[in-house]
Amino acid sequence: MNLETLDLLTLKIEKALATIRTLRSENLRYQEHSLGLDNQLRLVEGQLATTRSEQERLQAELDVKQDEAQNLAQELSRKDQEIASVRGEVEQRVVELNRLQDSLREKEDKIQAAAGRLEEVMASLELELNVQVGSTDEDEFSDSQPFQEDKAFGSPADMFGFHQN
């Protein structure tokens, strides 16, 4: 081989060695980059695991809150039914109270009527008693109207047992 060929071959070898050095350098850079990406991947996987556990915790809390909400809704429904029942009882008692008040008014009216009638009877009895004992004046007696017996009660003397023997 001649010198030129040898030089040419040396140049090609040096060029190949430079390419190999460049490739090794790039390979080393890629390995470092790959290592960095692996570290980032581990961090992301750790964050993902943390996020998943947080999500599970939050889901568990949500489930508890939903159960509480459902229990509260059932309790509220039960209370609403109780309120409706109590309202029904109150309405029945109001109707009964109104009926009793009406009955009481009727009885009060009867008592008032009886009291008025009793006053009339008492006044008539007093007048009759005064006539029997002679304590009234003839003029006074003649000006007043004569006593008229009530057919339902009879005379006041009959009612209270004042009979002359």
What is the per-residue pLDDT across 110-141, written as a single tens digit (0 to 9) for each?
999 999 999 999 998 888 888 888 754 554 54
154 strand-pairing partners: 150
Angle at 68 between CA 62 and CA 71, to 5 degrees: 140
Residue 153: the pLDDT is 56
Burial 46-76 (b: 16+ CB within 10 A, else e): eeeeeeeeeeeeeeeeeeeeeeeeeeeeeee
pLDDT of 149 reads 52
The span from the CA of 155 to the CA of 152, in Å, is 9
Answer whether 157's CB lies under 8 Å from 128's CB: yes
As a whole number, mean pLDDT of residues 49-73 equals 97
CA neighbor of 102 nearest in space, from 90, 86, 110, 113: 110
Rounded percentage of the chain residues whose pLDDT exceeds 70: 81
Write out the two tokens for 144.
Answer: 């007043």
